[in-house]
Amino acid sequence: MLSGSGWRAITVAAALLLLSACGDKNAQAGGGGQGGDRPVLVTTQTVQPSSWNDSLEALGTAKANESVTLTAKVSEIVQDVHFESGQDVRAGQTLVTLRGDAAQASLVQAEATYAEAQRLYNRQQELAQQQLVARSTLDTQLALRDAAAARVAQMKADIGDRSVRAPFAGVLGIRQVSPGSLITPTTVIATLDDISRMYVDFQVPEAALATIHPGDAVSAVTAAYPGRKFEGKVETIDARVDPATRAVTVRATFDNPDRALRPGLLLDVNLFRPSRQALVIPEIAVVQVGRDSFVYRVKPDNTVEQAKVSTGVRREGVVEILEGVKAGDRIVIDGTGKLRPGAPITEGREDGTAKPAAAPAGKQG
């Protein structure tokens, strides 16, 4: 049998063999890498300036190019309605006729009074030329004649007010009156909107005021038409900045030939500012740690270092870099999750395999 010292010797020998085997495996795993690390398979990209359009997002409500609520000027009974709900009308088209029997009678009376005043004025004018009447008498009759003419004009205007006409071409809303109903100046007859062109008012921060100009491109989307984008342009910028919100109102116009946009629709508006050159990289290349953002920049020896960056606008999977990297820098855009500062890398193909290393100068065959 083995003594206690013999068993201890066997145990120590076994431990030494195990440590030797583990050391061989680690050496094999780290062989060919810098500092014992295997190169990480990544995808890289060289940072280059590209054309970039900033955009401002806002909410706005669609409004018709021209819009009015039709009412009558007088209180009267509706005699005829000449339109249907949703009908297209032209400018000046008669929509509603009100009863005007009393007004017509008053017009006939006023015209008769005017005719008589004109005859008396003509007769007295002849007598005045013969110096048979005083000049003051002729002037008095002239005033009576003019007053009668004004009364005729007033009655014609009153009769005209009994015809409600379209002030501009457009599409009517739902009819609210019927023949025989009594309407007043507060009674709504219908709405009339010119929706061949729409406009949207929205607010932008005062800090962006200097970068907005009439003619700038604008796009808008609405929940009423999922997936459809409406294109417009800035028409005007308000002359005042709201002192409460520190924002300025911008009006954009949208052509609406198919009448898809209707007054009152809520729109998400994007205002595109003039194109400029910027450093833009894929958003997945930016690693966020707390409030800090950084990218992995590739050094000449094919190892990486962390470069803290300041980001700008993010849009559609890309982000603008304001500072931290410069044009010509090579950064890692895919595979950042396996990296740490100083780690070696190897460029990967789209199929996930490593690209072959370039042969040293003079060894290419």
Q: Rounded to whole angstroms, how far apart are CA atoms 308 and 322?
A: 11
Weakly modelled stretches of the chain, pLDDT under 50: 1-2, 7, 12, 16-17, 19-36, 349-354, 356-365
Domain spans of the chain? 34-50+277-347, 57-65+196-276, 100-161
* pLDDT for res 14: 53
- Domain 100-161 class in CATH: mainly alpha
* pLDDT for res 56: 84
Q: Would you say 103 and 159 are in contact if contact means Cβ atoms under 8 Å apart?
A: yes
E-strand ranges in 14-54 read 40-46, 49-52
Write out pLDDT tens, residues 124-167: 888 888 887 788 888 888 898 899 899 888 888 878 788 899 99
DSSP state of 35: G
Hey, what amino acid is at 84?
Answer: E
Residues paired with 277 in a beta bridge: 51
Residue with tokens 């021209």: 66
Specify the DSSP element, H or E, that contains 295: strand 292-298
**pTM check: above 0.75:** no
* pLDDT for res 242: 93
Write out pLDDT tens, residues 96-114: 999 877 777 888 888 888 8
- Domain formed by 57-65+196-276, architecture: Beta Barrel (2.40)
Residue 109 tokens read as: 């009376």
Q: Rounded to whole angstroms, how far apart are CA atoms 274 and 212?
A: 8
Q: Rounded to whole angstroms, how far apart are CA atoms 116 and 101?
A: 23
**Count helices and strands in the chain by DSSP H and E runs:** 3, 21
- Cα end-to-end distance, the chain, whole Å: 67
* pLDDT for res 362: 39
Half-sphere exposure of 303 (CA within 13 A, CB side): 11
* pLDDT for res 10: 52
Residue 359 tokens read as: 């042969």
Q: Rounded to whole angstroms, how far apart are CA atoms 348 and 342?
A: 18
Q: Rounded to whole angstroms, how far apart are CA atoms 27 and 13?
A: 21
| 166 Cβ contact list (under 8 Å, min separation 6) | 70, 89, 90, 91, 92, 93, 95, 192
Q: Rounded to whole angstroms, how far apart are CA atoms 49 and 277?
A: 6
34-50+277-347 has which fold? 2.40.420
Q: Rounded to whole angstroms, how far apart are CA atoms 322 and 339?
A: 23
Residue with tokens 């400018």: 91
Pairing of strands 40-46, 345-347: parallel
- Residue 106: helix, strand or coil by DSSP? helix
Angle at CA 354, nearest 5°, toward 352 and 356? 150
Q: Would you say 296 and 331 are in contact if contact means Cβ atoms under 8 Å apart?
A: yes
Axis crossing angle, helix 101-129 with helix 135-160, rounded to the nearest 10: 160
Q: Would you say 279 and 325 are in contact if contact means Cβ atoms under 8 Å apart?
A: yes
Residues paired with 247 in a beta bridge: 205, 242
